[in-house]
Amino acid sequence: MIDNPTRPPPLSVSSPIPPARPLPPGHPMPLPSQPHDPHVPPSHQTPQTQATSEATARVPDTANAPDTLDPLWQLPFELAWEALQAGSRPVGAVVVDRAGQVVAVGRNRSQESVAPPGQLAGTNIAHAEINALAQLPARGDTDGHRLYTTLEPCLLCSSALIHSHVRHVVYAAPDPVWRGIERVPGVGGLIADRWARREGPVEGPLAVFGALLMQMWEVLHNGGGVGSGVEGDAGRTVRRCLAIDGLLDAPTVHRAYILVRPHL
């Protein structure tokens, strides 16, 4: 359950561009209106090709629609879906400032060979949160910043939050691997002083969807055997979803969510 029932403001967006393309620090990052083109290498995606309008807009609130992905979470989950389709673990992360303006994005790239400048790929620490937080400038003003991530941050990413001076993280789905991580501040000292406030998991099917993406990856890449966390009812649900025609080819996470929503 979310610690604070007060709904954070929607993410502010500029004119739509595909997600996960690097922009200069502090530049607003919009929500995607179309899927990222996986055939364009990050090295070919220059800031000049990513220039956007200065005009901003608010995403209409359709969160109450039962088959619609909450617009607050659209960008993090779009990044997670992009990661899954690229073969990496499906986790996406977005940093917003106190006004709800997106200032950095990242996704897991652990199974890929390339990444945008300043981000990691092809290593076990190429986590979504690391790739997002790495874009924040040293000694920058992070007062009021929040990190939205589709999966509960691990110890590595929780430590990165401390070093990045981002004091608030909101996550969609719990990660059973890191059950008990909330006790880490009990060691006291600087860790306790700077430990980010953790808010999550979210209520309803969105948390299930976030966990489902990770379970799908586990089945696709490791078979989902004993000890994988994809057993029993969870395993049957994952396999039913993977059998949905066209799911893995869905061009957007919104389309994927609509396809699996009856199973959540």
How many other CB atoms are found less than 10 A from the CB of residue 242? Answer: 16
pLDDT at 30 over 70: no
Question: What residues are annotated to the active site?
Answer: 129
Mean pLDDT (the chain) is 80
CA 264 – CA 238 distance, rounded (Å): 10
Q: What's the average model confidence in pLDDT over 233-238?
A: 89
Residue 116 has pLDDT above 70, yes or no: yes
Q: What is the mean pLDDT of residues 157-182?
A: 96
pTM check: above 0.85: no
Tell me, letter by letter, the H, E, C secondary structure of the chain. Answer: CCCCCCCCCCCEECCCCCCCCCCCCCCCCCCCCCCCCCCCCHHHCCHHHHCCCCCCECCCCCCCCCCCCCHHHHHHHHHHHHHHHHCCCCCEEEEECCCCEEEEEEECCCCCCCCCCCCCCCCCCCCHHHHHHCCCCCCCCCCCCEEEEEECCCHHHHHHHHHHCCCEEEEEECCHHHCCHHHHHHHCHHHHHHCCEEECCCCCHHHHHHHHHHHHHHHHHHCCCCCCCCCHHHHHHHHHHHCCCCCCCCCCHHHHHHHHHHHC
pLDDT of residue 184: 97
For residue range 185-223, list pLDDT tens digits in order.
999 999 999 999 999 999 899 999 999 999 999 999 988
Nearest to 29 by CA among 87, 86, 96, 78: 96
The residue among 254 and 27 whose pLDDT is bigger is 254
Give the pair of three-digit tokens for residue 186: 């009990």
Q: Mind listing the pLDDT tens digit for each residue in 49-107?
A: 332 222 222 233 334 445 788 889 999 999 999 999 999 999 999 999 999 999 999 99
